[in-house]
Amino acid sequence: MAIPFQELMKNIWMQILINDIYRGKLIRGIDHVLIYAKEGKFRLSHINEDYIEEYIRSIIPEHEGYLYELEVYAEKHHIPIIEREVAQMLKVLLKIIRPKRILEVGTAIGYSALIMASSTDGDCNITTIERRKDMVVLAQENIDKTEYRDRINIIQGEAEEILPTLTGKFDFIFFDAAKGQYLEFFNLCIGLLAKRGIIMSDNVLFKGMVASDDLVIRRKKTIVKRLRKYLKYINNLEGYESCIIPIGDGVALTYKKE
Ligand code: SAH
Ligand code: MG
């Protein structure tokens, strides 16, 4: 059952219900809420049961300083930064891979770029692409306040236009931008990905809609269709090995074989 968020919020009882479920927490980054009753429980992310997500988040140590401030800012301004469990996964992955060059599509306020910078060696450089000028300005300000300012390079523009201009190889590429364009990004990045390199794609399960038609809302149909096509493609592509991990909003990893 899908209910537009605005409609939902007109109903005072629904507000109380949602507040109750989320214990006063802000519902962030969404203008539609899908209410789905399962065993008497209402869920928002549709990727995991709430109790699993809540438990995982409860044991992850809180960030301090600027990372915490960026989390608060993102929540307040509805900027869809990576969830804390995805940030943790990113940190561990990067410790294992130890990349020297990282490419990110979708900078927003620079949160994930800073997570990546803080999890890599001092000689690892990060190139990150963002289409929105206001975001680029904000991200640059946020990054300039940190010790990572020399390692993160923001490029403003449409990824589909910037990607063909990039040269050299990247050991790790992170997609976190327009979900309907992942296949296009992937094809533009294939030549930029080093052998044994990894592409990590965020939000691939898209609030569960990708996995179940029951959850798909009409105006997200195209995105869902494209994400399904993308996942099918990367999971069956010769020379690559992919997996889908149901944390956050769904994460896919694609490894390029030698
Ligand atoms: N990775 C960030 C969040 C990114 S939000 C973090 O976790 O901290 C997604 C961002 O991608 C938005 O700021 C949006 O403006 C940008 N974006 C979407 N499509 C894009 C495209 N085609 N080219 C460049 N940027 C794009
Ligand atoms: Mg994301």
pLDDT digits (tens, 9 = 90+) for 168-224: 999 999 999 999 999 999 999 999 999 999 999 999 999 999 999 999 999 999 999
**Residue to mutate (ligand 1; options 86, 107, 174; most atoms within 8 A of CB):** 107
Q: For residues 216 and 210, what is the distance between their CA atoms, to the nearest angstrom?
A: 8
Span 65-256: which CATH code?
3.40.50.150
Choose among 15, 89, 85: nearest CA to 54.
85
Q: For residues 131 and 21, what is the distance between their CA atoms, to the nearest angstrom?
A: 35
Encode pLDDT of 87-107 as tens digits.
Answer: 999 999 999 999 999 999 999
> pLDDT band for position 13 (50/70/90)?
very low
Task: Give this prediction's pTM.
Answer: 0.86
Q: Position of tokens 């979708």?
A: 106
Question: Which of ligand 1's atoms lies nearest the C-alpha of 115?
Answer: 8
> pLDDT band for position 15 (50/70/90)?
very low
CB 111, CB 70: distance < 8 Å: yes
**C-alpha 13 – ligand 2 centre gap (Å):** 31
Name 88's bridge partners.
Answer: none
**Residue to mutate (ligand 1; options 77, 114, 131, 200; most atoms within 8 A of CB):** 131
- Listed by start position, the domains of the chain span 2-44, 65-256
Question: Is residue 54 pLDDT above 50, yes or no?
Answer: yes
- Ion ligand 2: residues, CB within 5 A, are 176, 202-203
Whole-number average pLDDT of the chain: 88
Q: For residues 80 and 190, what is the distance between their CA atoms, to the nearest angstrom?
A: 26
Question: Which of ligand 1's atoms lies nearest the C-alpha of 111?
Answer: 8
Q: Is 33 exposed, middle or buried (0-12, 13-18, 19+ CB in 10 A)?
A: buried
Q: For residues 15 and 18, what is the distance between their CA atoms, to the nearest angstrom?
A: 5
Q: Alpha-carbon torsion 211, 217, 220, 221, what sign?
A: positive
- Per-residue pLDDT at 7: 56
CB 254, CB 214: distance < 8 Å: no
> What is the length of the chain?
258
